[in-house]
Structure formats: C-alpha cells, structure tokens
C-alpha cells in the first residue's frame, strides 16, 4: 500500500512538501500528528487525522500520536477568530489522559517495528525555561517569517488581534517537530490544511538547528456538501466518548448524512478498499432509499470508535424508534440510556402515586400530561387507532394505566401516529 496514493484516491490529500513522497517510498518512515487536549474527549472533527495515522501505519510506516500537554496551555490560533480560554493544569492533565486512552483504540501499539507510539510534549517542555527557549529556538525564526503565516495574518486583521501567547504557538509546535526528529527519527509531520504554517516552521527548525531535512503533508479540511462545518449539529459536537455522545447518537449522525456527503465520507472514514466502496456506491445508486452507503459508513465507524456491542445496541435502538423493535428492548437499558434515546422528544412527568389505583388513559394523556390538548382529542385519536402505549395499540377510551405498565419502574412510552413519541416519567 502506497500511503500518498491512498490519501489521493480517498480525496484526503491537500498539500505535500516536495521530496516527501520519495522519502516515504524508501522504506519505513516515522511521522506524527498532534492533538491538543482542549477537552476531555476527541470529536468527529479529529477523525480525519486519526484515519491519516491509521493509513500511515497500514502503509508500513511508524505513527506517533502527540498529545499536546504543553501546547494545550498556549492555544493554536489557526482557524480561530478569537483567543481560547486557557485551561487549568489539572484539567489539562485530565484531558491528556482521556485523549491518550481514546487514541489507543484506533492505532496498533503492539505490531513490531512500526508499532504506534504516544508522546506528550509536556515531557520535553516542562524543564525548558523561557530564556533558554528564546535563545536556542527563537533566534532561528524571524518575526517576518512568523508574520507571513495565514493563521497570524487573519487574526491581526481581525478585531481581537493576537496575543504573544498565541503568536508563539508556531514556534512551540515547530520545536515539537525538531525534538521528535532529533530524538525519535520522526521525519514527517501531518495535519489539517490549516496547520501548514505551523508544520513548515518545524521543518525550518530541523533545517536551521539540526542541519537536517523534514517533510510535511496536510489533509483536506472536511466540510458538508452544503458548506456547513463537519461534525457540528444542533445538539453540539459529536464526541468520541460514549458518555458525551451515546453510540446511538453517534451512529445516527453518520446514518443521517446526505448521499453526497456519504459518497465522500465513506472514502475518508472507512478502511474499505476502492473496489468495495465502488460496489456499495453502485448498489446504493440502484436503491437510494435503502441508504446502503450511510449504513456501511455508520456501522464501520461506530464499531471502530466504540465496539460491536455498542453498534448492536444502536441498531436495536434505531429499530425500536423507527421500526418494529419490541418494547422489551428498553428493559435492558439503564434510566440514563433511556433518557439519551428520548433526548429531544417531548417529555412529561406525573405523580407515580396515582398509578397505585390506576389512571384512566384519557385523563393521563390530556390532564396529567399534555400529550393531547383536550380529552375530546385524546378520545378521538384513541378510537381511530392512532395511539400506542408501550408499543401496544390502544383504542379503548375507558382503558386504565397502572404501575405494571411502567418500564424500569419509571417510564411509559406513548406513540401518537407512527412517528410522534412522548416519554412519560412517573415520579
């Protein structure tokens, strides 16, 4: 497998420094990508770079994942319109540990000579004092060189300006590259296209301090076909941590992509071969309503990020909400998982004590909760067969609901029509 050819056909390659491809063709090369610990989880926006490292390793090269315990204290101005809030050191270290744990799910850390390695730039910066840094590193890069970078120019042209802290970021990232080149024989740095300026600062430090040669590769920044930012939804970022974004929501994010996005994203976020993807795309085009591209993408990326068991639960949840899945499925879930499933769905609470004697169904739906605005409308919908309680269709306006109808001793699921769900919570 040729790494650069792989990036090209997948539509991932953006820029490549002259000589990089020739260097990679000589044999195993070490390369790295940095991840700043600005949160205690990576999100789907990081997946492009994670996939880049996966392809790099599959091509026989040695990947380094750098977690920026030091650079996270500074903040990268690239692509930002305003300065980030700086995190407390204990928060930063907690984030570093979380990111290291997540990255180990994706890369092989035990496969011989090209096993992945994790590094933290705090390890080489913690004893590097300011005077030594500006003397040993700063003198090699001119202010004119740093000012010419797009990430700097755009911020200087804006209203917020650029602090010295963020201005220094490219020097710190550049030194990362130099340190890894010197100590880990790391010859290639990779990143998103907005990182080009920071990466080539590193190649300059390798040339000027180490009298050596280093290389740069950047990937396309992923956008939706409609131009909107990838990975953002009305509910916020889609995280890789199951506690922040459930596997069900994660799965649904990929399943609900448009056909145009799915055709691009399956190349970027899947490890399927070109032939496999072309076959799925052909089958998808013959029956678009089956959403074969979206399902193939969602299945694979959910398993890689979470697990087979997590995918199965996401599929069962989808089948319950949008298909004919049995109500028994919910009894296998925790209360938190049930709340997660019904996030964004209308919820009503009512007194649990009323269930001991039983509540008339019409009263429950129109008085104790507001599934229906009036008893008359509730009766009409019930008589017409348009109401289901816990997946069971009810048409008896004199029907009663009692404690035995509660799921996990807390919930009643109401369906009005085919797709309108309501979660009733007994407290």
Given this model, what pLDDT does residue 234 score? Answer: 59
Residue 415 known to bind ligand? no
Query: Same domain, yes or no, for 266 and 302?
Result: yes
Given this model, what pLDDT does residue 75 score? Answer: 57
Closest CA to 215 of 35, 20, 24, 412: 20
Mean confidence (pLDDT) of the chain: 88
223 — pLDDT class (breaks 50, 70, 90): confident
Element (H, E) at 318: helix 308-322
End-to-end CA distance of the chain: 59
Query: Same domain, yes or no, for 165 and 251?
Result: no
Query: Same domain, yes or no, for 62 and 137?
Result: yes
Residue 421 known to bind ligand? no
Residue 76's domain comprises: 3-219
Given this model, what pLDDT does residue 68 score? Answer: 86
Task: For residues 359 and 401, give the distance between their C-alpha atoms in angstroms, rounded to a whole number.
Answer: 5
Query: Same domain, yes or no, for 293 and 360?
Result: no
Number of domains forming the structure of the chain: 3
Q: Between residues 319 and 382, which one has the greater pLDDT? A: 382
Task: For residues 65 and 107, give the distance between their C-alpha atoms in angstroms, rounded to a whole number.
Answer: 9
Element (H, E) at 106: none
Query: What angle, rounded to 10 degrees, do the helices at 292-305 and 274-286 form?
Result: 140
235 — pLDDT class (breaks 50, 70, 90): low
79 touches 30 (CB < 8 A): no
Residue that terminates a domain, selected from 172, 193, 219: 219
Query: Same domain, yes or no, for 316 and 351?
Result: no
pLDDT of 404 higher than 80: yes
Given this model, what pLDDT does residue 85 score? Answer: 53
Mean pLDDT confidence for 18-38: 95
Residue that terminates a domain, selected from 325, 356, 381: 325
Bridge partners (DSSP) listed for residue 33: 65
Residue that terminates a domain, selected from 171, 190, 219: 219
Q: What is the CATH number of the domain that holds 165?
A: 3.40.50.620
Given this model, what pLDDT does residue 126 score? Answer: 86
Query: Same domain, yes or no, for 251 and 124?
Result: no
Instruction: Decide: residue 324, CB within 10 A, 0-12 exposed, 13-18 middle, 19+ buried.
Output: exposed
Least reliable range by pLDDT among 154-168, 237-251, 309-323, 373-387: 154-168
Query: Same domain, yes or no, for 201 and 60?
Result: yes
Q: How does DSSP assign 182-239, residue by residue?
A: HHH-EEEEEEEGGGHHHHHHHHHHHHHTT----EEEEEPPPB-TTSPBTTEETTEE-B
Residue 122 known to bind ligand? no
Query: Same domain, yes or no, for 185 and 212?
Result: yes
Given this model, what pLDDT does residue 140 score? Answer: 87
Quick: pLDDT tens for 80-104.
444 445 667 788 888 888 999 999 9
Domain annotation covers residue 75? yes
Mean pLDDT confidence for 391-402: 88
Query: Same domain, yes or no, for 152 and 35?
Result: yes
Q: Is 185 left (phi over 0), alpha (psi -120 to 50) or beta?
A: left
Domain annotation covers residue 337? no
Residue 251 known to bind ligand? no
Task: For residues 335 and 406, give the distance between their C-alpha atoms in angstroms, rounded to a whole number.
Answer: 12
Task: For residues 239 and 231, give the distance between their C-alpha atoms in angstroms, rounded to a whole number.
Answer: 9
Query: Same domain, yes or no, for 244 and 204?
Result: no
Quick: pLDDT tens for 44-63.
999 999 999 999 999 999 99
Token code pair at residue 294: 């979206």
Q: What is the CATH number of the domain that holds 415?
A: 3.10.290.10
Name the phi and psi angles at 385, rounded to 5. 75, 25
Q: What is the CATH number of the domain that holds 296?
A: 1.10.240.10
Task: For residues 313 and 291, give the distance between their C-alpha atoms in angstroms, rounded to a whole number.
Answer: 19
Quick: pLDDT tens for 279-308.
999 999 999 999 999 999 999 999 999 999
Domain annotation covers residue 224? no
pLDDT of 363 higher than 60: yes
Least reliable range by pLDDT among 273-277, 322-326, 399-403: 322-326
Name the phi and psi angles at 215, rounded to 5. -130, 165
pLDDT of 228 higher than 60: yes
Domain annotation covers residue 339? no
pLDDT of 391 higher than 90: no
Active site residues per annotation: 38, 43, 46, 80, 84, 173, 194, 229, 232-233
Query: Same domain, yes or no, for 34 and 167?
Result: yes
74 — pLDDT class (breaks 50, 70, 90): low
Domain annotation covers residue 331? no
Q: Between residues 23 and 331, which one has the greater pLDDT? A: 23
Token code pair at residue 32: 């790295």
Given this model, what pLDDT does residue 33 score? Answer: 97
Which DSSP state fits 262? H
pLDDT of 388 higher than 50: yes
Closest CA to 202 of 134, 141, 132, 256: 141
pLDDT of 330 higher than 90: no
Query: Same domain, yes or no, for 390 and 290?
Result: no
Domain annotation covers residue 260? yes
pLDDT cut 70: percent of the chain above it: 95
Contacting residues for 406 by C-beta, under 8 A, at least 6 apart: 352, 355, 412, 426
């Amino acid at each position: 497998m040729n790494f650069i050819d792989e990036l090209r056909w997948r539509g991932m390659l953006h820029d490549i420094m002259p000589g990089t491809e020739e260097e990679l063709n000589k044999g195993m090369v070490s390369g790295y990508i940095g991840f700043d610990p600005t949160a205690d989880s990576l999100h789907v926006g990081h997946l492009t770079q994670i996939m880049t490292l996966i392809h790099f390793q599959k091509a026989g090269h040695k990947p380094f994942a750098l977690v920026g315990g030091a650079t996270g204290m500074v903040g990268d101005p690239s692509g930002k319109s305003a300065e980030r809030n700086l995190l407390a050191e204990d928060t930063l270290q907690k984030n570093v540990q979380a990111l290291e744990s997540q990255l180990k799910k994706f890369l092989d850390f035990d496969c011989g000579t090209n096993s992945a390695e994790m590094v933290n730039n705090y390890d080489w910066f913690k004893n590097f004092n300011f005077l030594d840094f500006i003397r040993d590193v700063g003198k090699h890069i001119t202010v004119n060189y740093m000012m010419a970078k797009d990430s700097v120019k755009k911020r200087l042209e804006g209203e917020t300006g650029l602090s010295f802290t963020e201005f220094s970021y490219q020097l710190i990232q550049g030194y990362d590259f130099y340190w890894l080149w010197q100590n880990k024989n790391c010859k290639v740095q990779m990143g998103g296209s907005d990182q080009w300026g920071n990466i080539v600062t590193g190649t300059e430090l390798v040339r000027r301090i180490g009298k050596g040669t280093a290389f740069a590769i950047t990937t396309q920044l992923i956008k939706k076909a409609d131009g909107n930012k990838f990975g953002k939804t009305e509910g916020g970022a889609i995280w890789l941590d199951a506690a922040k974004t459930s596997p069900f929501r994660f799965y649904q994010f990929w399943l609900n992509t448009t056909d145009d996005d799915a055709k691009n994203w399956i190349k970027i976020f899947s490890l399927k071969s070109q032939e496999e993807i072309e076959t799925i795309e052909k089958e998808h085009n013959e029956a678009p309503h089956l959403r074969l591209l979206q399902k193939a993408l969602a299945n694979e990326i959910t398993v890689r990020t979470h697990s087979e068991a997590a995918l199965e639960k996401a599929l069962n949840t989808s089948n319950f909400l949008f298909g004919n899945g049995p109500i028994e499925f919910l009894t296998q879930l925790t209360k938190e998982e049930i709340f997660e499933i019904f996030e964004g769905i209308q919820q009503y609470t009512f007194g649990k004590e009323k269930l001991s004697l039983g509540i008339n169904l019409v009263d429950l739906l129109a008085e104790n909760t507001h599934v229906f605005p009036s008893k008359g409308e509730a009766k009409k919908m019930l008589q017409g067969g348009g109401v289901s309680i816990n997946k069971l269709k009810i048409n008896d306006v004199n029907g009663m609901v009692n404690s035995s109808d509660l799921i996990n001793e807390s919930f009643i699921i109401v369906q009005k029509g085919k797709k309108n769900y309501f979660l009733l919570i007994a407290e």
